[in-house]
Structure 1
Amino acid sequence: MEFLGLKSNVVYSESKLEHAIIGKMQQFLLELGKGFLFEARQKRFTFEEKHFYVDLVFYNRLLRCYVLIDLKIGELSHQDLGQMQMYVNYYDRYVRQEFESPTIGILLCENKNDALVELTLPKDANIYASAYQLYLPDKALLQEKVKEWVAEFENTSK
Structure 2
Amino acid sequence: MGERDLADIDERVVEQQIIHNVKNFIMTFGKDFTFVGNQYHLEVFEVEQYPDLLFFNRELNCLVCVELKKGGFKPSYLGQLTAYLRILDDTVKKPHENPTIGIILCKDFNKDFVEYVIQDYHKPMGVARYTTTAEMPEQFQRVLPNIEELRKVLSNQPTDK
Q: 4+ residue stretches of structure 1 with deviation over 6 A?
A: none
Q: How many aligned residue pairs are there?
A: 125
Q: What secondary structure is seen at the aligned counterpart in 1 of 2:88?
A: helix
5+ unaligned residues in a row in structure 2: which ranges?
1-6, 132-146, 149-161
Q: After alignment, is 38-47 or 86-95 more displaced?
A: 86-95
Q: TM-score, normalised by structure 1?
A: 0.72
How far apart in 2 are the matches of 1:83 and 1:123?
A: 12
1:3: which partner in 2?
A: none
How far apart in 2 are the matches of 1:41 and 1:78?
A: 23
2:106: which partner in 1?
A: 109
How far apart in 2 are the matches of 1:116 and 1:91?
A: 27
* 1:94 has 2:91 as partner: yes
Q: Which amino acid aligns with 1:73?
A: K
* 1:38 has 2:35 as partner: yes
Give matches, 1:1-158, under 5 Å: 13-121=10-118, 122=120, 124-132=122-130
2:44–2:87 Cα contact (<8 Å) kept: no
Please report how far the alpha carbon of residue 61 of structure 1 lies from its aligned counterpart in structure 2 after TM superposition: 1.6
> Kindly, what percent of the aligned residue pairs are identical?
33
2:139: which partner in 1?
A: none
5+ unaligned residues in a row in structure 1: which ranges?
1-10, 137-158
Deviations along 1:62-117, whole A, 9 cap, x unmatched? 21100000100101100011111111111112221221011000111001122232
Larger radius of gyration: 1
How far apart in 1 are the matches of 2:123 and 2:99?
A: 10
Please report how far the alpha carbon of residue 124 of structure 1 lies from its aligned counterpart in structure 2 after TM superposition: 4.4
1:75–1:111 Cα contact (<8 Å) kept: yes
Cα RMSD (Å) of the superposition? 2.0
How far apart in 2 are the matches of 1:124 and 1:49?
A: 25
Higher strand residue share: 1
